[in-house]
């Protein structure tokens, strides 16, 4: 079960400014992070092919 970051943020009144995203894949969470007001995201992806796509996006 995945718990929504928005749910956790709202429930516990968390201010999310920075995210270390391990296993970033193609960065699909970018819109979510922007909507939540995240200022800085460090994307980490070990797969070189996906990392290239991530850097383009």
Q: Cβ distance 45 to 25 under 8 Å? A: yes
Q: Cβ distance 51 to 26 under 8 Å? A: no
CA 25 to chain centre: 10
pLDDT higher than threshold 80 for residue 52: yes
> Tokens representing 36?
């939540």
- Each domain of the chain, given as residue ranges in start order, spans 16-56
pLDDT higher than threshold 90 for residue 32: yes
Percent of the chain predicted with pLDDT > 70: 98
Mean pLDDT across the chain, nearest whole number? Answer: 94
Q: Cβ distance 33 to 41 under 8 Å? A: yes
**What is the rounded CA–CA span in Å between residue 41 and residue 19?**
5
């Amino acid at each position: 079960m995945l718990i929504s970051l928005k749910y956790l943020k709202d429930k516990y009144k968390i201010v999310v400014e920075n995210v270390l995203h391990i296993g970033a894949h193609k960065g699909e969470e970018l819109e979510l992070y922007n909507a939540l007001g995240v200022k800085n995201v460090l994307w980490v992806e070990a797969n070189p092919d996906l990392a290239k796509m991530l850097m383009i996006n």
